[in-house]
Amino acid sequence: MHQTTVRFASDVWATLEEEAARIGVSVAQYIREAAVARLSYGLGRREDRGLEDAIRGAGSTASYAEWGHSEPSAHTRQEVALEHSHDALSSSEALWAQGKLARERASELREQLAAQRRDRLAGEHGEKPARTSSGG
């Protein structure tokens, strides 16, 4: 499974939250289903054989609430809660990964800054600047 960060203007995000809540799914699930719907449309237009897998992979929980079908047994509260917990876990994992990348980048920047300071001080004292592999 892959994850990504998607940025939305605050008004669009608020509308997404409202619509997802209206049909009883998380914003993540709403966006996932929208992406799969777009993919399915493109595959269908090309008569691609991957269409069924894409639709099956959507794992839609919104359809009953969204289209007004009254089949409450289709997705039990337990299934919806499980899906929401998976979404929360996925979001948490993404945040941890972003934090790790940010810490690694900050460490690289600190190392580059320290090397630049050493080079500047060496230059002020008439010494040859040390070459570093950081490129900075």
* pLDDT (0 to 100) of residue 69: 47
* pLDDT (0 to 100) of residue 122: 86
- What number of other Cβ atoms are within 10 A of residue 75's Cβ? 20
The token pair that represents 93 in the structure block: 């994992």
Per the listing, tokens 């709403």 go with: 30
- What number of other Cβ atoms are within 10 A of residue 64's Cβ? 17
* pLDDT (0 to 100) of residue 129: 64
Q: How far apart are CA 114 and CA 134, in angstroms?
A: 11
* pLDDT (0 to 100) of residue 113: 94
The token pair that represents 50 in the structure block: 């991957």
CB 53 within 8 A of CB 89: no
* pLDDT (0 to 100) of residue 49: 63
* pLDDT (0 to 100) of residue 53: 59
Task: Per-residue pLDDT tens, the chain, 136 aa: give them.
Answer: 778 888 999 999 999 999 988 888 889 888 988 887 787 777 777 776 665 555 555 555 444 444 444 454 555 666 666 676 667 667 677 777 788 888 899 999 999 999 999 989 888 888 776 665 554 4
- 24 by DSSP, 3-state: which? coil
The residues, any chain, with a CB within 8 Å of residue 83's CB and separated by 6 or more, are 25, 26, 29, 59, 61
Q: How far apart are CA 132 and CA 127, in angstroms?
A: 15
* pLDDT (0 to 100) of residue 52: 58
